[in-house]
Structure 1
């Protein structure tokens, strides 16, 4: 798998350090407002699973974690813009502070849909903690309160990000060689 990567953008240590910073910021921002129930961290499966696990360990306050699986990619490499919920929350988020843990903000179409969907459920607040925000043209206007890294508009994999369900287990984030996906 490593031979399929043209270059590493974010190392394992850089990711660990930045996720710890994000967890500390979330703790600081919510510790006094979330009450004894704490926050609900919503992991957007499958790409954000690794990130969410590390992030919740870096948050020093009560929290509940729940999972949603959404799809807008079909079998291609670009978002279709048509979002389907494949797995919905088990938790009631009404009146709760929700932090969406997302692996990457790319087109923003899926995340925009998800925010609108979750807002309809009456949470106290919704914020987004994305590990990566890709520099893409025509990106939907999504307010991300917490951003791990800005990244170039290249095909990246690793640390949960995949191509055809491969490369998620790489401990770093790297650029996939074009000959692999073209």
Structure 2
């Protein structure tokens, strides 16, 4: 897999340090609240596992599968589809959506208002990566790991065609891997 990576954007060590920092901040901000971490699968599973271990206050977790991508596409289709909804009742909870990457913001611009209608105390966003140059909506993360350039990134949960998720770093995929 490493041979398909053009260069590393965020190292394994940088990811570990940032997740520890985010966990400490979230623990302070949500102390005394009913924190529910909501992982948007599949991409955020690695970040979610690390982040929930870095959070030092009681928290619950739940999972959603929401997509605006299809198959091995590298671009958002703009159509948002909920494949698996939450199991938890959000009433009275403080919901923190955990995402792998905030790209166009289309998916979250549909998802966040939908979750707010379920009577939580709050709905906020934590993402390990953000591509602000690609944003098509007003969505911005409340908790951010790293801003990355508009390049096709994989690793640390992010994939291309269901591959590369298990890389311990975030790297830029060589264009010949996904070029038609």
Give per-residue Cα distances to partners, 1:88-108, cap 9 Å, x unaligned.
Answer: 101001111000000000010
Of 108, 113, 116, which residue of structure 2 is paired with 1:116?
Answer: 113
Describe the SS at the equivalent of 1:136. Answer: helix
Give per-residue Cα distances to partners, 1:59-85, cap 9 Å, x unaligned.
Answer: 111100000001111132111111111
Normalising by the residue count of structure 2, what TM-score does the alignment of the two structures yield?
0.96
**Corresponding residue for 1:39?**
35
Of 156, 164, 176, which residue of structure 1 is paired with 2:173?
Answer: 176
C-alpha change, 1:138 and 1:29, in structure 2 (3 Å) is closer
Describe the SS at the equivalent of 1:41. Answer: strand
**Corresponding residue for 1:65?**
61
| Residue 89 (1) aligns with residue 86 (2) | yes
CA contact (8 A) 2:103 2:135 kept: no
Q: Root-mean-square deviation (CA), in Å?
A: 0.9
Post-superposition offset of 1:144: 1.2
Structure 1: stretches of 5+ with no match in the other structure: none
Post-superposition offset of 1:138: 4.4
Describe the SS at the equivalent of 2:166. Answer: coil
Describe the SS at the equivalent of 1:166. Answer: coil
Post-superposition offset of 1:135: 3.1
Describe the SS at the equivalent of 1:27. Answer: helix
Post-superposition offset of 1:166: 0.2
Describe the SS at the equivalent of 2:136. Answer: coil
1:96-107 matches, cutoff 5 A: 96-107=93-104
Separation in 1, partners of 2:95, 2:142:
12
Normalising by the residue count of structure 1, what TM-score does the alignment of the two structures yield?
0.95
Describe the SS at the equivalent of 2:63. Answer: strand
Structure 2: stretches of 5+ with no match in the other structure: none
Separation in 2, partners of 1:151, 1:135:
8
Q: Report how many residues are paired.
A: 178
**Corresponding residue for 2:122?**
125
Describe the SS at the equivalent of 1:99. Answer: strand
